[in-house]
Homo-oligomer: A and B are copies of this chain.
């Protein structure tokens, strides 16, 4: 039975139970070495229950030097991938009794958000979609950190195999007979994108099909960016026959650009994304892409972080790399040399 506001303190419970406040604390903190007489324990528990006592987490945090709160920083929610990461993270965190403090931040804002999180004594932080290398070293100093989807020597990471994703992309398109390939990706140094790109380039070079520079198109990693980037590619005198995009948002933008320009997918052009967001299946033809287990990344990031927290920083940085998988749908197809008629 809850009595209005949760303003019932341990001291009140103690008074009504005829014991001292620390005794209440002893009863409630299931401490094995705390010996309390069964009768007392029962009485305290009963009163606590009746009064609806719940420990004040702020006070607990203050004395335990633990807030049981995690920070999660992402560059934006407009990308469903981050939404999925957060979702996975929140679920695991909540189950473990941890709260998630959410921050949306780009660029230098990140540092301020980190400071704010520190002030709240967060036990750890998860950073997704932001290159840790771009942050001043002091910003993460002494913090429990897990990075999502970016390799690091210094911090623990949970990622998908972005390099492999790029390789898979190249192999898929090559296998379909394409030889004039293009890449559409952002100019900024977000590690996951960079790795996908590198994997793609490396595989192409390995196959003896290097990319000429006009076939590397830079644009923001958004729908709008993909749209603009694809328009630029379509404006080339000699168009590519297949395009790999750094993520699905770009690919969907590119998809749209093709649709607007009357370029048939995959007849005139093969298009491949990366992430496998839900929307990939909604466009027609459905977007071929490379699936990244975003939710799982978030979930694992929290599990790893909690492990680190429990170890009091005595753990070396660990890394997990999850597999990615080609999901060939409707936008990639066999290269058909144009039939002059």
Contacts and interface: CB of A to CB of B under 8 A. Distances in A.
Nearest to A91: B104
B103 A94 contact: yes
Interface string A1-28: 0101110000000000000000000000
Given A4-B141, A279-B279, A283-B284, A54 B115 contact: yes
Please give the count of copies of this chain that the complex contains. Answer: 2
B104 A101 contact: no
A338 interface: no
Interface stretch (A43-51, A79-87, A232-240): A79-87
A189 to B, nearest CB: 23
A90 interface: yes
Interface residues on A, range: 35 or more
A80 B252 CA distance: 16
B278 A78 contact: yes
Contacts of A118: 6, 54
Interface of A: 2, 4-6, 54-59, 61-62, 67, 69, 72, 76-78, 80, 83-84, 86-87, 90-91, 94, 97, 99-104, 113, 115-121, 138, 141-142, 223, 252-253, 255-256, 259, 278-279, 281-284
